[in-house]
Structure 1
């Protein structure tokens, strides 16, 4: 007998002629699962891929492999490698309530100082002593988990089209889906019950990035073989990216080695600042990338899922906090670094000193704290308990805590250091032999190359992030091809 404890039963409307799902109807269980895709950091998405060699998520596979093969001596701490290869999600505590969990990695552990002073910091691992008060960091803490629900209200029932458009199950909304398939005769469709487990959800996640029909391909038995065809895909910069340039707190200089005839970046020589930026892509949640894609074309329909969250009436979402978690996902505290050009924000952990509760959701923390004190304390005590809620800082896992405070990590890598970065973001320590080998492989003679110097601002950083997700020539698309040129190439294809 099949194990249904980690599965969801769906009703699907299927077009019999094409054997394609028109839509599935589900309660909050399945909606929560697909919405959770937007909270997954890129490093985890690559790690979860059943076969990384065929998962063509732009340059992200090469970037992931570069970290995997990187000598730990280049990193600030040993923890940096784990942070990039198995990054944590701010939505971790919410996703504990998912009916089907595709990531069975261990939950984040938190430790606090036994003295519990206001200036004591939270830590992801045990330390001998607290830098603030000298106490022992050995009190284990866990994030609060909601009693029910993840992102969508429990009684919500919605329909999901094959391209992951999520809409209310109303006739007026469903008819256009049937019309799109040319199916207006009830005899042309059939209702199918599908059990969705871990394998199906993992397949759906991967196919949502590479296919316009992910439900059909991942849930129907006679599904076509998945193909990834985003090779040589070009993108163009969106105006919304350019507007953010004034917010940049700094720039990074790199030296692209450009083929003049092929108009492509063969490779680039860059310091640890630029490579820190690239490595940080693995910590970025999928929703953050989709948010900045703008009108860039995507082979899949993850952008359709993102738009569905945007357009979904608030009556279906648990709260504005949960909606923001999907549309503007933040990083786990300690996973970002100063002057990060992408402008990503870290979430805040809140701690209730009176109860010892910990959460990123301040409203949930306040509710649970009030409930915990209601039956045994007076109103004044409850007020006191609520005022004990405060933000709590986190010890930076990238920093060497045996060094002076001024030596706090500015990124994942030690410096100064130089690296060779290929167009598809394979990163290795700088080497002239490697550079010449790359030119030879690309059949680019030394007489054809030009060593340029470019400045990376926030505009270029965001463009590079999107380019690395959509295509396999991130450096060329960002630093050589002009937006108008990319647009023309796209129209010609």
Structure 2
């Protein structure tokens, strides 16, 4: 361990020599924290970083959504900041992830500026006008990670991690039983191997966790091409988890589908900017939020196993606050908009004038103030104010989507472009669908359809068909109005 380079983590693995497969890994919690951080990473960040691997990862239709943003003229966006925040989405758990020993995204850190007056104004941009007092925001602050050593896992609570990313306490009856079934107890076929893992290996592990049941083996032992996650003609059996009282029937989005009657598939859709903003918002969604909504929809990879492991860990190994961060990851402030149907929440920033710190963790901020500055909780809380983030999507005081008013064409696999008759006709020709075989159907997108679209975009190549044409076994599907 003393000779381990600063930019690597040493892992001790038990390897099955006959199958050339990693059975499990022991490591300090630095590596476990890195793996757990996968659940907080926005999908757009994964798509942006994945091409650094030898074979680019295609997560359902997500790659097409990302490419659509790259290819779309900036004039279609409310501002350049809208496009930038989709291509490089912020992590709502940055306060935790900034202290990870290995980071897969080593770009410029986010800058934060607060209003110098008493109003709670905050911005990602220098010199913009504060919505509260009207002054310009110039005072830069760092987002403080104020944990006492812990990022996600508690300091001395060591865990082991299996090849399929199952986390377990060491030397328990459960873990011994699991590995006994795998043949690990046979010392003649196993050996200990030490690996030094850097950021490149961590990125490959993240990609493999989405497509493989053995991501540690594929990352550290084998040189296999990264497989494609999407699956043509996959039919989803998905019933989204919807909180009571959150559906807004008046906020439904209308979508016109061009459908092949004989093939029972969506050729393309003609939509407004509200539907496209919903689709593009998928790029800002943390991986853990998508996994939490999948329920009956299985994945080829094992990221859902990691999610379940966090659910099963008790507070000896992870605090309730950190568990919530991983199981219900929030968006960075400024990413939501008023007709967002997914039920996502934004993180909240807090600033203490006493401590002169900006943080997204109020509980830890109070604890540090109590330890260093004041003696009562009421005094600590009185110095803290929640910050109102200047909407980075516009210089106007609006809370809308990413795009200005316009009409767009969206293909079944979610390639988005300005509406075009020529493109529509060429697409029908490419699909070998004659004009006599098409019909128009109007569907309405509410909370249930939005969640199904999110999951379909992550797991299959034909998101519109799966959500609006092929009815899941346990759902009647959205209501349709034939034009």
What's the TM-score once normalised by structure 1's chain length?
A: 0.91
* Structure-1 separation of matches of 2:475 and 2:334: 36
Are 1:400 and 1:409, in contact at CA under 8 Å, matched by a contact in 2?
Answer: no
Unaligned runs of 5+ in 2: 477-483
Aligned partner of residue 469 in structure 1, secondary structure: helix
User: 1:465 pairs with 450, 454, 470, which one?
Assistant: 454
Q: Quote the residue 1:491 is aligned against.
A: none
- What is the number of residues matched between the two proteins? 472
Give the whole-Å Cα distance in 1 for the aligned partners of 2:246 and 2:385.
32
1:76 matched to 2:78? The reply is yes
The more displaced of 47-56 and 274-283 is 47-56
Pair 485,343 (structure 1): closer, same or farther in 2 beyond 3 Å = closer
Further displaced range: 38-47 or 227-236: 227-236
Change (3 A) 1:81 1:383: same
- In structure 2, the residue matched to 1:395 is 390
Partner Cα separation in structure 2 for residue 359 and residue 47 of structure 1:
27
2:479 is matched with which residue? none
Aligned to 1:413: 403
User: C-alpha deviations, 1:58-116, integer Å up to 9, x for none?
Assistant: 000000000011111111111111110101111112112111111112221111222x2
CA contact (8 A) 1:97 1:149 kept: no
Q: Is 2:350 aligned against 1:361? A: no
Q: How does 1:181-330 map to 2 (within 5 A)?
A: 181-220=182-221, 222-228=222-228, 230-232=230-232, 234-241=234-241, 247-248=247-248, 250-317=251-318, 319-330=319-330
Secondary structure of 2:34's partner? Answer: helix
- Evaluate the alpha carbon distance shift between residue 138 and residue 246 of structure 1 in structure 2; reply closer, same or farther with a 3 A threshold: closer
Q: CA deviation at 1:244?
A: 5.8
Deviation at 1:386, TM superposition (A): 3.2
CA distance, structure 2, for counterparts of residue 235 and residue 365 of structure 1: 47
Residue 363 of structure 2 corresponds to residue 331 of structure 1: no
- Provide runs of 4+ in structure 1 moved above 6 Å: none
What does 1:339-358 correspond to in 2, within 5 Å?
339-358=339-358
Per-residue deviation, residues 139-194 of structure 1 (Å, max 9, x unmatched): 00111112412101111211111111111112423333333434442111111111
Report the 3-state secondary structure (helix = DSSP H, G, I; strand = E; otherwise coil) of the residue aligned with 2:413. coil
CA drift of 1:390 comes to 1.7
Distance 1:91 1:52, change over 3 A: farther
Deviation at 1:320? 1.6
Structure 1 contact 74–413 (Cα < 8 Å) conserved: yes
Q: Which has the higher helix share?
A: 1
- For the pair 1:105 / 2:107, whether they are aligned, the reply is yes
Worse-superposed segment, 448-457 or 350-359: 350-359
Q: Which residue of 1 aligns with 2:480?
A: none
**What is residue 477 of structure 1 aligned with on the other side?**
466
Q: Tell me the secondary structure at the aligned position of residue 100 of structure 2.
A: coil
Whether the 8 Å CA contact 2:238–2:474 is kept in 1: the answer is no
CA distance in 2, matches of 1:486, 1:262: 21
Shift of 1:224: 3.0
CA contact (8 A) 1:11 1:25 kept: yes
CA contact 1:161–1:177 (8 Å) conserved in 2 = no
Query: Corresponding residue for 2:157?
Result: 156
Q: Secondary structure at the match of 1:483?
A: coil
**1:242 shift after superposition:** 5.9
